[in-house]
Amino acid sequence: MILVLNCGSQSIKWKVFDKKLRVTKEGKREVLNSENFENILEEEINNLKSLEINLIGHRVVHGKDLFYEPTKITEENLKQLEELNYLAPLHNPFNVLGIKVCQKNFPGVLQIAVFDTEFFKNLTEIAYTYALPEKVSRICLPADRQGFRKYGFHGISHEYAASAAAKAMADKKKARKIITIHLGGGSSIAAIKNGKAVDTSMGFSPLSGTVMMTRPGDVDDEIIFKMVEKFGLEKTNEILNNNSGVKGICGESEMLEVLRIISNKRTENPEQQRRTELALDVFVYSIQKFIGSYFAILGGCDVLVFTGAIGSGSAKIRNMICKNLDILKKTKILAIKPDEELAIANKIIDLKN
């Protein structure tokens, strides 16, 4: 059987598949306090030790330019993965922890890492290049072969959603230009042409792009300079990753709570009501801008696909995003439930030998 482990910053998801990739068992745990992450992970994995697991797949967010393909884990490349933790501090440390816990509980079982960055490995040089002096990359990141560049994230989800959308279309010719929108705790958008990624909203790290639940997306760099001057580097990093985005505007980091506040019309706190409505409007507006830019880059859009917990789970959010976007008049709009675990299982099943 195949175990696929998907460790996020605030959740642990896993599925067990048989050799025909049918789910035989699955589970999900929310982890609100990162200090409890390892203990909860140990509990989840311990409950699976009685199963005959002979292959384990892991979602890893950032592979940089070192890892672009599904990779069999060794002690050497696991150390290399740990060195990338700084690039995705909300994700990679937990991804690596998942690998280590599985190594301890399933000794000798092959572990394979599948990377969110893989889907974007063939972006053109025009799409992935930042307009910075080349020598700056070498000075700032001397160990890098490629330096500062766009890597893109949520690739497993975007690839799965685009593939599922294309299969759902009766006329395959009408599924050549696809925009996928992954909305969850983190959010990103991808432009896809003929099954290949053309561009994506996240960049060197998962911090840029659209407004997210706790991350600001694109901000003027001068603002970050001022924040570092005032708060220092470590505190600024914490603010940008954990206390910005929708949460930064209204104080709420869960979209369900945002929608509840807006629908309830809390008259006892009109300012909170206003800030929450503003946060949602800013969230939607930032996504609409990317849809427009990718429509231009692709030369149209055959299918617009929403995925992720928020994207596929909230018709209200989808309607808000699509409302008044005249460019979508001839575009098929779909909601695809994410299944990163199945996508990972598909990628690793043939790599056992």
The whole-angstrom separation of Cα 177 and Cα 150 is 21
Is 65 among the residues known to form the active site? no
Angle between helices 92-105 and 37-46 (to 10 degrees): 40
Which string of b and e fits 30-57 if b means at least 16 CB within 10 Å? Answer: ebeeeeebeeebeebbeebeeeebebbb
Given 116, 199, 302, 339, which residue is catalytic?
Answer: 116
HEC assignment per residue over the chain = CEEEEEECCCEEEEEEECCCCCEEEEEEEECCCHHHHHHHHHHHHHCCCCCCCCEEEEEECCCCCCCCCCEECCHHHHHHHHCCHHHCCCCHHHHHHHHHHHHHHCCCCEEEEEECCHHHCCCCHHHHCCCCCHHHHHHHCCCCCCCCCCCCCCHHHHHHHHHHHHHHCCCHHHHCEEEEEEECCCEEEEEEECCEEEEECCCCCCCCCCCCCCCCCCCCHHHHHHHHHHHCHHHHHHHHHHCCHHHHHHCCCCHHHHHHHHHHCCCCCHHHHHHHHHHHHHHHHHHHHHHHHHHHHHCCCCEEEEEHHHHHHCHHHHHHHHCCCHHHCCCEEEECCCCHHHHHHHHHHHHCC
CA atoms within 13 A on the CB side of 72: 9
The whole-angstrom separation of Cα 331 and Cα 191 is 14
Q: Which residues are catalytic?
A: 116
